[in-house]
C-alpha cells in the first residue's frame, strides 16, 4: 500500500477544519462589528480608533467589490484601484464644481454609475483576454487613470487635489453636517454601506448571474457549450465590481474631505485588496471580509511600529531608517505562505457536498422486486 505524502495528509487535515475556520471568520467579523459600534460612543480622544474603523471599512468595501470579479469569475484584476479612483474623483468633482455642488447622497450612486461605466468601457476590448494578458491590461488601466488625475489640471486640479464637501443630512427640518473630527458619523455610514454591499453581493451570488459566473470560472468551455455568454456575463461582473469600487472611493474621500492622486497608488488600492481576497478566500463573502478586517489594522500596526523604530536612539545613532513600504514585504511573505498551505484562502467558500441517495430515492421499485426480475430473466 503506497505511503501517503506529508502534503496530502496536510491537505486532508486542512479540509477537516473547514467548519472551524468558517466559525473563526464569523467570530472575527462579529467582534469587528461590535468594536465599530463601541467606537461610536467613545469620547473624542479615541479618534484614532474611529479612523481605523473607517479605514477598515474602506478596505472591506474594496475587497467585496474585487471579489465579484476575481472570486466569482476567476479573472485576475490588477486595475481595481483605477475604479476606486474614478469613484473618488466623481464624488469630489460633483460636490465641488460651482455649477453642480451635488449632495453626497446623489454623488454616491453617481460614483457607482460612472465607475461601472468605466468598467464597461475597459471591458469591451479586454474581456476576450484571459490570464496574464488580462492582468497586464488592467494594471496599465489603473496607472493610466492615476496619471490622468495627476495631470488634468482643469478637471481634477492635478496634484494640488480637491476639497469636496462633507456629507450633510437635511430631513424634516433637521440639518446635520458630518465632521471629520470626530469620525462617528462616518463609522455609522461605513457600517451601513458594508451591510448594503454584503446584501447586494450575496443576492448576486445566489442569482442566475452568480451561477453563470461560477460556471465560467470552473469550466469556461462547458459553460459556453450550455449557452452561457462569456463576454456578456464577464462584462456584467466587471461593471458591478467597478461600481462597488467607485462607492468605496467616494466613501473614503468623503471621510478625508480631500483628494489627491497619491491616495490611489497601485499597492494601496489594487494589491492590498487582492491580498485580502486571496488570503481570506476567493468567492467567500465571509472570508473576504475577515481577510480585510485582519489585514487592514495589521498594516496600520506595522506602519506605527516602523515609525516608532525610526524614532529610537539606536536607529538615529547608526543612521538606520526603515522605509514605510517595508510593511508590504511582510504582506508579500504572508501571501506566499497562504498560497502554499492554504491555496483556497484561510476562510474559503464552503461547497455543499452532494448527498448520497438511498435505494428508495434512486428507484421506485423495491430491491426484492428487482432481484426477482433479474432471476426470471436468467431463467
* pLDDT, tens digit, 9 for 90 and up, residues 192-251: 999 999 999 999 999 999 999 999 988 888 998 988 888 899 999 999 999 999 999 999
Residue with cell 442566475: 208
Residue 286, C-beta contacts closer than 8 angstroms, at least 6 positions apart: 22, 25, 26, 29, 347
What's residue 355's pLDDT? Answer: 62
What's residue 370's pLDDT? Answer: 52
Residues composing the chain:
379
244, 270, 258, 235: which is closest to 141 by C-alpha?
270
Which pLDDT band, with edges at 50, 70 and 90, does 191 fall under? very high
Please state, as a whole number, how many other Cβ atoms lie within 10 Å of the Cβ of residue 240. 22
Evaluate if residue 288 carries a pLDDT over 50: yes
Which pLDDT band, with edges at 50, 70 and 90, does 379 fall under? very low
Report the C-alpha gap between 287 and 347 in whole angstroms: 5
Report the C-alpha gap between 220 and 228 in whole angstroms: 9
Cell of 193: 454601506
- Percent of the chain exceeding pLDDT 70 equals 85
Report the C-alpha gap between 164 and 270 in whole angstroms: 24
Report the C-alpha gap between 220 and 223 in whole angstroms: 5
Of 188 and 46, the one with more pLDDT: 188
- Mean pLDDT within 45-53: 85
Evaluate if residue 158 carries a pLDDT over 80: yes
Evaluate if residue 43 carries a pLDDT over 60: yes
89, 254, 109: which is closest to 185 by C-alpha?
254
Residue 144, C-beta contacts closer than 8 angstroms, at least 6 positions apart: 82
Evaluate if residue 1 carries a pLDDT over 90: no
User: What 8-state DSSP symbol labels residue 129?
Assistant: -
| 142 in Cβ contact with 78 (< 8 Å) | yes
Evaluate if residue 20 carries a pLDDT over 80: no
Task: Identify the burial level of 377 via C-beta atoms within 10 angstroms of its C-beta, where 0-12 means exposed, 13-18 middle and 19 or more buried.
Answer: exposed
pLDDT of 341-367, one tens digit each?
A: 888 888 887 666 656 666 555 555 555
- Report the range of poorest mean pLDDT among 65-74, 179-188, 206-215, 259-268: 179-188
Report the C-alpha gap between 353 and 17 in whole angstroms: 15
Evaluate if residue 256 carries a pLDDT over 60: yes
Evaluate if residue 8 carries a pLDDT over 60: no
| 197 in Cβ contact with 247 (< 8 Å) | yes
Of 353 and 20, the one with more pLDDT: 20
Domains and CATH numbers, the chain: 11-378 (1.10.3470.10)
Of 38 and 61, the one with more pLDDT: 61
pLDDT of 86-122, one tens digit each?
A: 999 999 999 988 888 888 889 999 999 999 999 999 9
Which pLDDT band, with edges at 50, 70 and 90, does 44 fall under? confident
Report the C-alpha gap between 122 and 116 in whole angstroms: 10
Of 378 and 135, the one with more pLDDT: 135
- Mean pLDDT within 283-305: 90
Amino acid at each position: 500500500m503506497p505511503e501517503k505524502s506529508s502534503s496530502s495528509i496536510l491537505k486532508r487535515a486542512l479540509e477537516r477544519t473547514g467548519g472551524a475556520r468558517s466559525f473563526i471568520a464569523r467570530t472575527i467579523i462579529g467582534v469587528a462589528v461590535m468594536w465599530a459600534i463601541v467606537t461610536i460612543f467613545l469620547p473624542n480622544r479615541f479618534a484614532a480608533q474611529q479612523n481605523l474603523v473607517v479605514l477598515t471599512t474602506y478596505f472591506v468595501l474594496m475587497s467585496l467589490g474585487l471579489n465579484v470579479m476575481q472570486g466569482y469569475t476567476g479573472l485576475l484584476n490588477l486595475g481595481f484601484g483605477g475604479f476606486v479612483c474614478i469613484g473618488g474623483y466623481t464624488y469630489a468633482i460633483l460636490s465641488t464644481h460651482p455649477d453642480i455642488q451635488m449632495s453626497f447622497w446623489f454623488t454616491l450612486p453617481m460614483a457607482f454609475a460612472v465607475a461601472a461605466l468605466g468598467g464597461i468601457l475597459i471591458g469591451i476590448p479586454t474581456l476576450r483576454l484571459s490570464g496574464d494578458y488580462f492582468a497586464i491590461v488592467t494594471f496599465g488601466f489603473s496607472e493610466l487613470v492615476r496619471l490622468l488625475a495627476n495631470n488634468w489640471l482643469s478637471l481634477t486640479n492635478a496634484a494640488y487635489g480637491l476639497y469636496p464637501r462633507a456629507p450633510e443630512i437635511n430631513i424634516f427640518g433637521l440639518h446635520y453636517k458630518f465632521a471629520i473630527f470626530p469620525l462617528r458619523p462616518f463609522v455609522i455610514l461605513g457600517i451601513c454601506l458594508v451591510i448594503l454591499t454584503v446584501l447586494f453581493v450575496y443576492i448576486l451570488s445566489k442569482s442566475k448571474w452568480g451561477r453563470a459566473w461560477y460556471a465560467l470560472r470552473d469550466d469556461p468551455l462547458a459553460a459556453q457549450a450550455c449557452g452561457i455568454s462569456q463576454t456578456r456575463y464577464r462584462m456584467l461582473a466587471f461593471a458591478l465590481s467597478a461600481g462597488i469600487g467607485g462607492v468605496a472611493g467616494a466613501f473614503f474621500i468623503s471621510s478625508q474631505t480631500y483628494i489627491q492622486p497619491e491616495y490611489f497608488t497601485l499597492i494601496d488600492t489594487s494589491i492590498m485588496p487582492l491580498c485580502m481576497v486571496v488570503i481570506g478566500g476567493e468567492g467567500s463573502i465571509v472570508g473576504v471580509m475577515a481577510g480585510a478586517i485582519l489585514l487592514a489594522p495589521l498594516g496600520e500596526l506595522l506602519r506605527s511600529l516602523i515609525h516608532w523604530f525610526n524614532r529610537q536612539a539606536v536607529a538615529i545613532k547608526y543612521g538606520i531608517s526603515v522605509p514605510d513600504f517595508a510593511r508590504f514585504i511582510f504582506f508579500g511573505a504572508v501571501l506566499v505562505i497562504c498560497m502554499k498551505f492554504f491555496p483556497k484562502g484561510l476562510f474559503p467558500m464552503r461547497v455543499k457536498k452532494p448527498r448520497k441517495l438511498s435505494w428508495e430515492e434512486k428507484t421506485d421499485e423495491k430491491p426484492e422486486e428487482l432481484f426477482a426480475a433479474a432471476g426470471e430473466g436468467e431463467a
